[in-house]
Amino acid sequence: MLELEKYSISFLELFPAEFSRNISHKLTEWGLFPFITTRINQQNLKTQLGNIELANPLGIPSGLDKNATSIKGLFKTGISFLELGTVTPYPQAGNDKPRLFRIASSHELINRMGLNNHGAESIGSKLKQWSGSGIIGLSLGYNRNSNDPFQDFLNVITECGIYADYLALNISCPNINMDLDLSTPENLSTLLQKISWKQKDLGFDKPVYLKLSPDYEPTHLNEIISVSLEEGVDGFIATNSTISRPVSNNPIYQERGGLTGPYLFDISTKTLANVYSQTKGNLPIIGVGGISTAEDAYTKIKAGASALQLYTAICYQGTGLIKKICSGLSLLLEKDGYSNITEAVGIEHKNWLT
């Protein structure tokens, strides 16, 4: 079946990137893909995000299932958690097409989708119907034409928050023109306070994770982390896609948007390690960016990640990569004498500090 998936990926690569993405997503939504259900059974991979127990450290970030239409199919891949969205209060079409670009030679993607989604009411109704197992994260954003971005976050929480296991604040998306910079100390403090108050009003207390940009200057990153700690944020996601580019003659790199894939690996891992250092390892961090092998995953763990998210590598290598990474990661832990993955978190973070 994995060979059939590889052939399917090769076939879809003949078409424009977003068309291929939509086809594979529809197949997942209809229950036709993945072709098999994967079980991850390695006991040494059991871990936690704060108080959230994970059967293994691998998840899928926001951006793949934007509208909560493929939850069942995506959990068949073996992941332990899935982040949906980014969700805005009202439906949003996103940017003009084309807005997703392959760089096949280096297994990278550039996207400027523009937070296209069906809106909080639609997504909330789908989440209400979900009754399966697996941890659900919800990425929150605000509408492009919003008069009050702070209220937009609160509206999404009101519609959907009760159905999520954690909330991810997407304040660092490079794919839309944000009129309000939510990463300034003042705005971030205001946002986190309002979200805390709203959750109390609604009668629940979901963990709040802040999604960071890999492009922050060190001083700015330190400010963001300091404010987040003061306001009681529960964890971080390191990182979003990057607006930086490698030195290359490939004209696709000139396209506007966030770059993901191997080039992002070092940049995002440095941010991850810096967050781990500043928080003294006291808060969980989800590591994202350029992971395509078990060795990559292990490096992120040792740099400070408690859990990991994969996206671009799956697009090129297929969902079988999840089981492959888990098997390899389990063996790497055994080789180094660790009985559980939590023992390796952050042990080499100083190697990445800048």
Tell me, what's the pLDDT at 1? Answer: 43
Domain that holds residue 212: 2-352
In the chain, which residue ranges form alpha helices assigned H by DSSP?
2-12, 17-29, 71-75, 120-129, 149-160, 185-202, 218-230, 262-278, 294-303, 312-317, 320-335
Tell me, what's the pLDDT at 17? Answer: 58
Distances (CA, A) of 329 to 70, 81, 273, 287: 27, 17, 19, 15
- pTM of the predicted model, to two decimals? 0.95
Distances (CA, A) of 132 to 127, 269, 329: 10, 32, 26
pLDDT tens, residue by residue, 30-63: 565 665 788 899 999 999 999 999 999 999 999 9
Distance CA 194, CA 186 (A): 12
Tell me, what's the pLDDT at 180? Answer: 80
- Number of domain units in the chain: 1
pLDDT at position 27 over 70: no
The mean pLDDT of 14-36, rounded to a whole number, is 61
The mean pLDDT of 168-178, rounded to a whole number, is 82
Tell me, what's the pLDDT at 7? Answer: 43
Residue 243 sits in a domain whose CATH number is 3.20.20.70
pLDDT at position 140 over 50: yes
The mean pLDDT of 151-163, rounded to a whole number, is 97
The pLDDT > 90 percentage for the chain reads 84
Distance CA 78, CA 172 (A): 28
The arrangement of strands across the sheet holding 108-111 comes to 100-103, 108-111, 258-260
Handedness of CA 314, 317, 320, 322 (dihedral sign): negative
Kind plus residue range of the DSSP H or E element containing 166: strand 166-170
pLDDT tens, residue by residue, 231-270: 999 999 999 999 999 999 999 999 999 999 999 999 999 9
The mean pLDDT of 187-194, rounded to a whole number, is 98
